[in-house]
Amino acid sequence: MLAMKILRVSGGRPLFGELVVSGSKNAALPILAATLLIRGTVELIGLPEIRDVSAMLHLLSLRGVRVEHLERGRYRLNAEEASPSSVAFPEDGGLRGSIYLLGAGLAAHRRSAVGLPGGCDFGERPHDLHCYALRAFGAKVLEREKGLYAEARSLVGGEIRLSYPSVGATVNAILAATLAKGRSVIYGAAREPHVMDLISFLNRSGARIKVLEQGTVAVSGVERLAPLSYRVMPDMIEAGSYLLMAAATRGEIHLRRAPEGQLSSLLPLLSESGCRVWEIGSDEIALEMRDRPKPISVTTEPYPGFPTDLHPQLSAYLALCLGESRIREMVFRDRFRYLMGLSAFGANVTREGREARIVGRERLFGARVTAPDLRAAAAYLTAAMAAEGESLILSAELLLRGYEAPLRKLRRLGAVISDADVECGALPQADRRAARGSE
């Protein structure tokens, strides 16, 4: 029977305090996949203790990787006894990041298979760029009913020209190129910080990867990679989410180990909207907000543009603005599924094509909502903490896919949140339908 986490939030309390930003989910997943390329022990530090990381570790163990949990956020992995998968594992389908195992397995074993990736549903997320990128190295890639299968007698470097800066296709191309023969050049590559962190990890292990002019990555293949110890970068989406939560509740927050350089598209917007934002040293950020935000307009874009993964949380913050704000979504066409739930709090939010139109209101009110995806859950939690009265958030377990210990961290800042795990059979019929729809 399906289990669900329900949050009960008493809103209207400003968040105050200090948090340490956890390791990046989006960097951890490709780095974990890349351990398949290394024959020897890899020690990873700062891995976030979240469900997506646990799922990836499980998928690696199914492929024969020895996984040892040393302490919180610190793991030791050894892929010397790993073997290629000849059939797609059904377990792969619940994790979008499992697609990285296609390129990693191909590079390590010359054949690989993954279940069709899952993750949050924002509409069609085609795999054709992944297939194109791997075929450019001479691989045969087939899409079967339950998954993707790739094999090659050898991988030979060449030119890959991506029609869109897809993070997943860029990662798979880099993984394949690292152990391919000769030189590869990837044009139109994604430039997100977590892609750069993967490159840093691979280069520390002996890869020869250079980031050239914007959107171009050159890789000279090597025969082997060496064992290493590596710390995963901090999570810019987690940092941005907590900044927006503090701003929405008109509070004050101090983030340590904050990826300041990666938030260059968010921090100016927060300042423009009326927040006081300042840096403390090289990796600490503080924010203070006392008034309703001023309206702003922004467009989500691939990095270094404003990240789509902060779009719903920004909408929740702007629901209290003094005027009309707009967020144009240019990454995921169906990112707007959060709008109906945000309206339940009294927010005046509507969709106009690829834009969210947000007309600010003086206050929000407690509501009962069901989260359709990870970032929508974060947006609803933002709204609930800023709203007057009590709110219930169903399917809140989605938060655990991408945020490490979010309730503990928010309670430390003064949020009043209780949680309960229930079986869907104990819920009213309408809520059972909503829970199934969020899977």
Check residue 262 and give its pLDDT. Answer: 92
Distance of CA 253 to the CA centre of its chain: 22
Higher-confidence residue: 147 or 312?
312
Give yes or no: 120 in active site: yes
The helix or strand, by DSSP H or E, that contains position 409, with its residue range, turns out to be helix 406-412
Check residue 4 and give its pLDDT. Answer: 86
Q: What is the pLDDT of residues 237-284, one digit of tens each?
A: 999 999 999 999 999 999 999 987 899 999 999 999 999 999 888 899
Residue (of 271, 363, 275, 361) closest to 324 by Cα position? 361
Of the candidates 120, 131, 275, 321, the residue annotated as catalytic is 120
Check residue 144 and give its pLDDT. Answer: 79
Structural domains present in the chain: 3-22+234-437 (3.65.10.10), 25-231 (3.65.10.10)
- Tell me the average pLDDT across 92-120: 82
Angstrom distance (rounded) from CA 84 to CA 160 = 25
Q: Which of 44-53, 123-132, 385-394 has the least mean pLDDT?
A: 123-132
Sheet holding 111-115, edge to edge: 111-115, 147-151, 140-143
Angstrom distance (rounded) from CA 320 to CA 115 = 42
Check residue 136 and give its pLDDT. Answer: 96
Angstrom distance (rounded) from CA 27 to CA 195 = 7
Angstrom distance (rounded) from CA 201 to CA 228 = 9
Paired with 287 in beta bridges are: 253, 277
Q: How confident is the model at residue 439 (pLDDT cuts 50, 70, 90)?
A: very low
Q: What is the pTM of this model?
A: 0.92
Q: How confident is the model at residue 434 (pLDDT cuts 50, 70, 90)?
A: very low
The sign of the dihedral angle between the CA atoms of 41, 43, 49, 51 is negative
Three-class SS state of 139: coil
Q: Helix 311-318 and helix 374-386: axis angle, to 10°?
A: 20
Residue 39 pLDDT > 70, yes or no?
A: yes
Got the DSSP string for 15-34?
-EEEEEPPBPHHHHHHHHHH
- Tell me the average pLDDT across 147-160: 94
Q: Which of 111-115, 167-171, 196-200, 205-209 has the least mean pLDDT?
A: 111-115
Check residue 117 and give its pLDDT. Answer: 63
* Strand bridging mode 41-45 / 228-231: parallel
Residue 428 pLDDT > 90, yes or no?
A: no
Return mean pLDDT, the chain.
92
Three-class SS state of 196: helix
Check residue 405 and give its pLDDT. Answer: 97
Q: What is the pLDDT of residues 191-213, one digit of tens each?
A: 999 999 999 999 999 999 999 98
* Strand bridging mode 252-256 / 16-20: parallel
Angstrom distance (rounded) from CA 185 to CA 208 = 12
Q: How confident is the model at residue 89 (pLDDT cuts 50, 70, 90)?
A: low
- Tell me the average pLDDT across 159-185: 97
Residue 229 pLDDT > 70, yes or no?
A: yes
Q: Helix 25-34 and helix 100-109: axis angle, to 10°?
A: 20
CB-based contacts of 382, cutoff 8 Å, min separation 6: 241, 244, 245, 248, 313, 316, 317
